Amino acid sequence: MNPLLQLKNVRKDIGSKTIIHDLSLEVFAGEVFGFLGPNGAGKTTTIRMIVGLMDITSGEVLINGIDVAKNFEKAIRYVGAIVENPEMYKFLTGYQNLLHYARMTSGVTKDRIDEVIKLVGLEHRIHDKVKTYSLGMRQRLGLAQALLHRPSLLILDEPTNGLDPAGIREIRDYLRKLAREEGLGIVVSSHLLSEMEMMCDRFAIIQHGKLVTIEAVQELSKQAQKVLWIVDPIEKAAQVVQERFPHYHIQQNGQGIEVDIDYHDIPKLNAALVAEHVQVYGIQVLAKSLEERFLEMTGGNEIV
């Protein structure tokens, strides 16, 4: 499968300083890709280069195989984006704002505008001036302008910023639906880590303009981690663990024991417990959260 978005050794120098160091990554159709990093890591700079707002010092950005720097108008047709906050013309109505952007891309009909308005749930306020909108409504309007021309790649900077919990959930479900059902590739940057964990399939962490890691969210649960064993009797279970796996750290709590265990040893320990007649009521993987991973990768000493 050809990647929808491809960054090849992308580098950005401002003056004599290198802001982005040879960044390479790929985003495929149908996935939600998280873009993480502490403030000042270069997330926004990278996004600006992808959408052609900034020049690329060296390397290339390909969207659907088209070079953004060389063939901007053709490449950008596939992209819908919000860069930082969705800033709109406040003295115009939401509808006029959408009309403004619709006129700039060929093939966006009035019907499509109405469709997108309904999609983001702004029907009742769309003819009000944007200055009367709440942050959440502006966010929805931002999403609407990004979707107008049916892009195949959606790039969203902090899409849930300012939304209430119901709104966050709605947008999250909607983005996942767009990726799964319509096959869009979605790049989301955020520093709400738990949010990203629920939304993304894969994520990249960058720090000081360098790529630290790219991982799948599913992989997070396969690394060495805490596993909660709901067992009875607890003391006997702890004994079994100490005998069989003396190097694992054990912690007892009210329900059972928490063991820092390797993913592949979980069935073995289970078998041992059963063999020793310990009642096993449940095995719960306390997955390493993205936040822990993030702090681990970035050294944890940065303001997120």
Partner 1 sequence: MSNFFSLIRNENMKIYYRFGTWFMIGLLVLVAVAGAIIVKTSYREPTDWRKEVTAETASFKASLEEGNISKTYKDYLTQQLKINEYRLKHDIKPIASNTFWGYLESSAGMISLVTLFTIIVAAGSVASEFSWGTIKLLLIRPTNRAKILLSKYMAALLFAIGLLVLLFAVSAISGAALFGIETIKEPYLAYQNGEVVEKSMIWYVLQMYALNCADLVMMTTFAFMISTVFRNQSLAIGLATFSLFIGPQITYFLAMKFDWAKYLLFANTNLSQYLDGMPMVEGMTMSFSIMMLLLYFLVFNALAWLIFQKRDIAA
Residues at the interface with partner 1 (CB under 8 A): 14, 48, 51-55, 72-74, 76-77, 79, 81-92, 96, 99-101, 103-106, 145
Query: C-beta of 70: minimal distance to partner 1 in Å?
Result: 13
| Whole-Å CA distances, 162 to 58, 98, 133, 137, 181 | 35, 20, 12, 9, 26
Which 8-state DSSP code applies to residue 222? G
Which residue lies nearer to partner 1 by CB, 77 or 172? 77
Which residue lies nearer to partner 1 by CB, 84 or 296? 84
The residue type of 142 is: G
Which residue lies nearer to partner 1 by CB, 141 or 163? 141
Cβ-proximal residues to 64 (8 Å cutoff; 6+ apart), any chain: 2, 4, 75, 78, 152, 153
Confirm if 200 and 35 have CB atoms less than 8 A apart. Answer: no
Query: C-beta of 85: minimal distance to partner 1 in Å?
Result: 7
Which residue lies nearer to partner 1 by CB, 136 or 236? 136
Neighbours of 112 (CB within 10 A): 16
Which residue lies nearer to partner 1 by CB, 45 or 207? 45
The rounded distance, in Å, linking the Cα atoms of 76 and 50 is 9
Confirm if 42 and 97 have CB atoms less than 8 A apart. Answer: no
The rounded distance, in Å, linking the Cα atoms of 16 and 147 is 37
Query: C-beta of 104: minimal distance to partner 1 in Å?
Result: 4
Query: C-beta of 134: minimal distance to partner 1 in Å?
Result: 18
Which residue lies nearer to partner 1 by CB, 74 or 249? 74
Confirm if 202 and 31 have CB atoms less than 8 A apart. Answer: yes
Query: C-beta of 225: minimal distance to partner 1 in Å?
Result: 40
Which residue lies nearer to partner 1 by CB, 52 or 262? 52
Which residue lies nearer to partner 1 by CB, 68 or 231? 68
Q: Which two tokens stand for residue 203?
A: 């994520």
The rounded distance, in Å, linking the Cα atoms of 156 and 225 is 31
Query: C-beta of 103: minimal distance to partner 1 in Å?
Result: 4
* Nearest CA among 201, 128, 144, 136 for reference residue 162: 136
| Residue 267, Cβ density class (10 Å: 0-12 exposed, 13-18 middle, ≥19 buried) | exposed
Neighbours of 84 (CB within 10 A): 12
Query: C-beta of 17: minimal distance to partner 1 in Å?
Result: 14
Torsion 13-19-24-28 (CA) sign: negative
Query: C-beta of 165: minimal distance to partner 1 in Å?
Result: 27
